[in-house]
Chains A and B, each alone.
Chain A
């Protein structure tokens, strides 16, 4: 060690042997990059990191990385980081210190200010405190299971997310997996499905899923195309960046676009689609077999340029976007001796065609540009013309070094162009493809039973956000039982049925509504007529609308009854002889019978759930079915079981109601308790989710009414359905009578 650094070494209180080898270099770096005061902080910070007793590794990381970080973000970082390491060492999370130190340089590159960096460290610490905990009965605290994984993922996460997005993503994981260490690890290593889904949603940039309709409108309005758009993920394929392409199954586009060179994400989407739409409109397939790979890429490039030129002829306003997105290869920047300049040359050609102020001097390129413009001057030209220009160009510019494996890619990628797979027909390969297709397909592949599962989001009140595709719902036709049972119920309640019939007659759409203030009508409206006469006698202009007429008041309802079939329906309430299930069945029978009399559109479904992965939705009666034996048989067979995850069932039921054309749509929910499921420990979560689902329905113009048989329902039911949106029936035995009357009251 040289003496000039000895002073610093003496002040650094750390006795690891390895330190002597690296200290000189580190301090040299530090003296070069930071101020005198900064070096003092640097030394004391390193001493602090050394004192935590986590070995040499953190100290080395601190010494090596901090000069660079503090130069980038400010010297207050020196203290912040050493303090953070110190704080972390005071918790059981010592094992996370090395990964913490390792993620800092990358984080400092991504986060441009010391405020941002402090916030980032704050977020990490919040996560650490939230996930470090003690288990009841154990006398130790356990380190955070997910923290080391999270820290390892930081470089990737920061490349995808803003700090806010990162915080949301971490919070989600902490909230949902805090009591499950293994799943927490899966989440923070971005292994689990919802981890990926959350990450996707918090991405920065313009997400495809938020703009699907806009892009569809764009294609329809400006290109008269209705293409199936399929997004592919940009997030998880680091090695190979996929390119847009289209085939018979649709146009594949990235799931997210960030703003680039002042072109917004949505405009980049539009440019990509415009380019593919242009190909669809103007390109013809060419036979690939006669051309060498070099010739092919030249043809593709010129064809792309032709498509652009024609697109710009149609929509000249797009030029500013193309100019901003197209790379600008610098003439002469590619070394012809040592690397392959094919791509570079072609990119220059493409730029020169697009941008008249290209300033390139290469005569071969200028010549080709001239030929291109001449070909396209009058009319659309054709892919064939491009092919011949391209072949000439390749022949003239070909160099021995083009074959070199080292290809210059820099400034040659035009990311809004597709991969042109649609341009070629391969005669040779096609034969083989036919051979493959000739193999008999496995015809008797098992058809999956029932409908495919549907996924519904669920509302999380603690974050005010939806958990995407959280609940899986399976819909099936309820197996039938004995229809005669239902007829027996009707017989049993024949007195009630007669009573209902009288009420229903009143409801039938035969009564009239008086329309007053008509200039012409069927009768004179005496009140108004007298008033008019008085006006007239007193000399002022009388109101001529003195008649009234009558109008049919038509009923136009679509009603859906959603029955809770959870296990608690087996209970026999105090003072009753029948279980809640039997009473519900009787009530539904009477309601179904009544509504059939009225002729309103009516459907019945039942639901129960066994965790979020299995919500069962039983179809009992469809809107188009009549109240016949099939429906009765299904209703006779209903059986209770499992729990009540109401939100997903409500959302699914609303999907059916939405398909109905009716003036008024009503969803009746018959339940005996609050929404709950065995995989949810927080009572409020499913209540809030159901409330949100009801809100969603009311936004779609569907009125929801809940009939609760839970005597304690007052605690929560108003929160879910709002005042007036529910009825609590305390005397469960009266349910068969009350339900049809309630329906009558709601719809009259």
Chain B
């Protein structure tokens, strides 16, 4: 059995989240029925923050797993570990969540291989069970357990997509960068910078987002805007801060870099 402390997964301070539309109500309804939820949206638009916020609001523990290519099913479910006296079973994060009744959040699920993701199937339909075949145990999911996955549909890669059988087990919320005003107020509150500068940052982000598909895979995310604002708060001159936080990380393409630097230069007079 799991001997982990459930309290460590509780979120104690309210994470700042500004609703874009009715996503909070939709999520609450899905949780009430314990329906699995998938959240789609570009990098840094607030997917993870939204889940944290909801977990706080619902008062449930949240177990987050960042998925990656090398992740195997046992990284999710659990494995036998060897110790001096033989072997010992250790629950994986998914198992822990199912036992304790936490919200299990698989971040960037498409990064995991498709054969790994199928282990979530039995938990996501009416069965709500998780078979641990190595251990010979069948776990009934806790009444509070819910599975949430997120991914970024912008990768446009054949290899990085979910199986239809996986997709069809979820309800979906589509996220995008918030509209101009909301995004500016998010940046302003999150980084503690004044609204006017935040609005300028958002404008720069928009210029970059127009270039998506023309040499940029992703536009400048809200998260990067917050970084830029944070740098400015630490006394860095706006243009330098923007170059560091908004331009250098997202592109190596000289033409795009010059264009973005020019837009920064024209927006921050």
Contact = CB atoms under 8 A, between A and B. Distances in A.
Given A217-B255, A217-B259, A542-B82, A222 B74 contact: no
28 contacts: A213-B255, A214-B255, A217-B211, A217-B255, A217-B256, A218-B259, A220-B210, A221-B211, A222-B207, A222-B210, A222-B263, A222-B266, A266-B258, A267-B262, A270-B262, A315-B266, A315-B267, A316-B266, A316-B267, A316-B268, A317-B266, A317-B267, A317-B268, A320-B269, A519-B72, A520-B73, A539-B84, A544-B79
Contacts of B23: none
Nearest to A271: B266
Contacts of B263: 221-222, 315
Contact of A217 (B72, B214, B266, B268): B214
Nearest to A220: B210
Contacts of B269: 316-317, 319-320
Contacts of B260: 221
B252 to A, nearest CB: 14
Nearest to A520: B72
A176 interface: no
Contacts of B210: 220-222, 224
B74 A520 contact: yes
Nearest to A316: B269
Closest CB pairs A-B (n = 3): A316-B269, A315-B266, A317-B266
Contacts of A220: 210-211, 214
Interface string B233-265: 000000000000000000000011011101111
Nearest to A320: B269
A510 to B, nearest CB: 21
Contacts of B267: 315-317
A603 to B, nearest CB: 23
B215 interface: yes
Contacts of B82: 536, 541-542
A519 B207 CA distance: 45
A216 to B, nearest CB: 8
Contacts of B266: 222, 315-318
Contacts of A267: 262
A503 B183 CA distance: 62
A317 B208 CA distance: 17
Interface in A6-37: none
Interface in B48-91: 72-74, 79, 82, 84
B89 to A, nearest CB: 14
Interface centre among B79, B207, B215 (most CB of A within 10 A): B207
Interface in A267-290: 267, 270
A216 B253 CA distance: 14
A448 B169 CA distance: 57
Contacts of B265: 317
B49 to A, nearest CB: 27
A622 B26 CA distance: 52
A538 to B, nearest CB: 12
Contacts of A315: 263, 266-267
A317 B258 CA distance: 15
Interface of B: 72-74, 79, 82, 84, 207-208, 210-211, 214-215, 255-256, 258-260, 262-269
Interface centre among A211, A315, A319 (most CB of B within 10 A): A315
A213 B72 CA distance: 43
Contacts of A542: 82
B268 A214 contact: no
A166 B86 CA distance: 83
A109 B79 CA distance: 84
Nearest to A267: B262
Nearest to A312: B269
Contact of B215 (A217, A320, A541, A544): A217
Nearest to B269: A316
Interface in A318-358: 318-320
Given A217-B259, A266-B258, 11 more contacts: A211-B255, A214-B259, A217-B255, A217-B256, A218-B262, A221-B208, A222-B266, A316-B266, A316-B268, A318-B266, A520-B74
A318 B82 CA distance: 66
A282 to B, nearest CB: 17
B103 to A, nearest CB: 27
A389 B144 CA distance: 70
Nearest to B207: A221
Nearest to A519: B72
B82 to A, nearest CB: 6
Interface string A201-220: 00000000001011011101
Nearest to A321: B266
A541 B266 CA distance: 58
B54 to A, nearest CB: 33
Contacts of B255: 211, 213-214, 217
A266 B265 CA distance: 14
Contacts of B268: 316-317
Interface centre among B263, B264, B266 (most CB of A within 10 A): B266
B178 to A, nearest CB: 19
A543 to B, nearest CB: 11
B258 A214 contact: yes
A232 B66 CA distance: 54
A706 to B, nearest CB: 33
B189 to A, nearest CB: 24
A519 B258 contact: no
Interface centre among A221, A270, A316, A541 (most CB of B within 10 A): A221
Interface string A231-275: 000000000000000000000000000000000001100100000
Contacts of A213: 255
Nearest to A535: B82
Contacts of B79: 544
Contacts of A519: 72, 74
